[in-house]
């Protein structure tokens, strides 16, 4: 579907009416009067997620008790959810599993990738998501290998020089810039390096085709655009071609070839289960699985198209207000949020929140508008931009009385 940038509220309404994705909104349970632009941080609740959560607690746990590990399918839930996510990232059904947090998964993948790369050197860019940097540096310290914190944008060159292991976000968490997975994988393959993709800000909002792009290892967050619930466990992707060479540094009973034999030595499961560790938090997993049902009938290409168009609308209006856009202007180079700056960014975001327009702020001056296409329409963005314009024009964020009020709420 081709979306355009509406130039009036009426045009925005008209585009919403013809939007193939408009029914997706009905799946969400968002409070009346809220325009939610923070889906890049925490996706909102869906009816299916809340229903699955309630069922897991009040029926499966309460009624079936420990038997639910079999009867309710808890034991297979990490693999089941992996299949739900696989479709969205262009992976095979056997290539994705849910386990732990993104941080822990990156650690597992990086440790396991070290012996497979030409050199065990661990690389991360200085602008990368902070935790990714901490994890790599700590792993290098423990394993006694070189760690390189490359300059911004220099990760791939450093990878080519060393043939090591690079952790890189597919979409930058600050400005939503997109990395070309296929191009980087192709170059890495030539030089013996291994890339671990952090898909946290990409999954569920841009079209990913990991298999076609030749991606081998990845991890990602499920509580942003996948709407899995606060702190929902992360996913982990391993290409089938690499799976049987991969040995986790955190082997747990869930990843054992024979989990119920209670053997003293670890034999990894032959498939992606080998990357699981301890018992996963089933209640949180259940909500996540429910949330993913919303994606079942949806096309990732369509989601991407709409996210780009919503972002284009934000950019057009922000630029008209004379603000500086920090995200790529070219929609094909941009993920699911738009970052722009204002010297009083914090106060402006507080003023937006007071009007029911939820956005977020990153120090020192960046405002981020997440444009998740499943529950946001063009008119929502239009309304949000009008609100922003009004706040800037009236400088209502500079009103002492308002600021006091905003602190209390």
Active-site positions read: 129, 198, 223-224, 368
CA distance 66 to 110: 35
| Sequence-separated (6 or more) residues with CB below 8 Å from residue 203 | 85, 88, 89, 220, 221, 222, 224, 225, 226, 235
Handedness of CA 352, 354, 359, 361 (dihedral sign): positive
Asked if residue 202 lies in contact with residue 171, where contact means CB atoms within 8 angstroms, the answer is yes
Q: Which of residues 301-340 bind its own copies (CB under 8 A)?
A: none
Kindly state the number of chain residues that form the binding site for its own copies, as judged by CB under 8 A: 85
List the one residue from 266, 356, 396, 403 that touches its own copies (CB under 8 A). 266
Is there binding between residue 281 and its own copies (CB under 8 A)? yes
Q: Which of residues 190-209 bind its own copies (CB under 8 A)?
A: none
Sites for its own copies among residues 23-42 (CB under 8 A): 29-31, 34, 36, 38, 41-42
Classify residue 323 by its DSSP letter: P
How many other CB atoms are found less than 10 A from the CB of residue 316? 15
Per-residue contact flags (x/-) with its own copies for residues 347 to 386, judged by CB under 8 A = ------x----x-x-xx-----------------------
Q: Which stretch binds its own copies (CB under 8 A): 46-54, 180-188, 324-332, 396-404?
A: 46-54
Closest CA to 170 of 160, 159, 185: 185
Return the structure tokens found at 303.
Answer: 């989601």
The kind and range of the H/E element at 312 are: helix 300-320
Choices 153-161, 178-186, 251-259, 320-328 (CB under 8 A): range interacting with its own copies:
251-259
CA atoms within 13 A on the CB side of 269: 20
Q: Decide if residue 135 touches its own copies (CB under 8 A).
A: yes
**Of 129-137, 187-195, 382-390, 392-400: span binding its own copies (CB under 8 A):** 129-137
252 is a site residue for its own copies (CB under 8 A): yes
> Which C-beta is closer to its own copies: that of 45 or that of 300?
45
Write down the least CB distance from residue 361 to its own copies, Å: 11
Is residue 240 at the binding interface for its own copies, with CB under 8 A as the rule? no
Taking contact as CB under 8 A, which single stretch among the options 61-69, 85-93, 294-302, 372-380 is the one that binds its own copies? 61-69
* Nearest Cα to Cα of residue 234 among 201, 257, 210: 201
Contacts of 117 (CB under 8 A, 6+ apart): 163, 164, 165, 192, 193, 194
C-beta of 366: minimal distance to its own copies in Å?
11
Q: DSSP code of 74?
A: T
DSSP 162-228: H--EEEEESB-TTT-BBP-HHHHHHHHHHHT-EEEEE-TTTTTTS---HHHHT--EEEE-SSSTT--
Contact between 97 and its own copies (CB under 8 A)?
A: no
Within 147-176, the residues that bind its own copies by CB under 8 A are 149
Among the candidate windows 140-148, 153-161, 301-309, 324-332, which touches its own copies by CB under 8 A? 140-148
Choose between 18 and 404: whose C-beta lies nearer to its own copies.
Answer: 404
Please state the closest distance from residue 103 (CB atom) to its own copies, in A: 4
Q: Are 239 and 211 in contact (CB under 8 A)?
A: yes
């Amino acid at each position: 579907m081709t979306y355009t940038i509406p130039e009036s509220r009426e045009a925005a309404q008209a585009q919403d009416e013809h939007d193939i994705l408009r029914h997706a909104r009905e799946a969400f349970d968002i409070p009346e009067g809220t325009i939610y632009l923070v889906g890049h941080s925490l996706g909102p609740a869906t009816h299916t997620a809340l229903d699955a959560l309630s069922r897991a607690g009040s029926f499966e746990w309460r009624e079936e008790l420990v038997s639910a590990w079999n009867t309710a399918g808890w034991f297979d839930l990490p693999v089941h959810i992996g299949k739900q996510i696989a479709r969205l990232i262009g992976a095979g059904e056997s290539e994705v599993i849910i386990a732990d947090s993104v941080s822990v998964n990156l650690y597992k993948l990086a440790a396991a990738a070290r012996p497979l790369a030409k050199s065990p050197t661990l690389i991360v860019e200085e602008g990368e998501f902070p935790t990714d940097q901490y994890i790599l540096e700590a792993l290098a310290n423990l394993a006694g290998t070189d760690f390189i914190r490359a300059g911004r944008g220099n990760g791939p060159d450093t990878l080519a020089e060393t043939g090591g292991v690079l952790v890189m976000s597919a979409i930058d968490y600050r400005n939503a810039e997109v990395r070309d997975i296929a191009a980087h994988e192709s170059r890495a393959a030539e030089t013996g390096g291994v890339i671990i993709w952090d898909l946290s800000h990409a999954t569920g909002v841009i079209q990913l085709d990991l298999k076609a792009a030749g991606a081998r290892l990845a991890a990602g967050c499920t509580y942003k655009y996948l709407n899995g619930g606060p702190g929902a466990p992360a996913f982990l992707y391993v290409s089938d071609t690499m799976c049987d060479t991969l040995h986790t540094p955190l082997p747990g009973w869930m990843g054992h070839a024979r989990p119920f034999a209670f053997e003293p030595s670890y034999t990894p499961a032959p498939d992606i289960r080998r990357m699981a560790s301890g018992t996963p938090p089933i209640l949180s997993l259940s909500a996540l699985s429910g949330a993913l049902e919303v994606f079942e009938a949806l096309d990732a290409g369509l989601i991407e198209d709409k996210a780009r168009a919503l972002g284009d609308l934000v950019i057009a209006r922000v630029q008209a207000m004379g603000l500086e856009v920090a995200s790529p202007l070219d929609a094909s180079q941009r993920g699911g949020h738009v970052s722009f700056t204002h010297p009083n960014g914090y106060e402006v975001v507080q003023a937006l929140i007071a009007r029911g327009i939820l956005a977020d702020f990153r120090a020192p001056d960046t405002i981020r508008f997440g444009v998740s296409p499943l529950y946001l329409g063009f008119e929502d963005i239009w309304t949000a931009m009008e609100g922003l314009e009004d706040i800037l024009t009236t400088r209502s964020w500079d009103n002492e009385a308002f600021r006091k009020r905003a602190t209390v709420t």
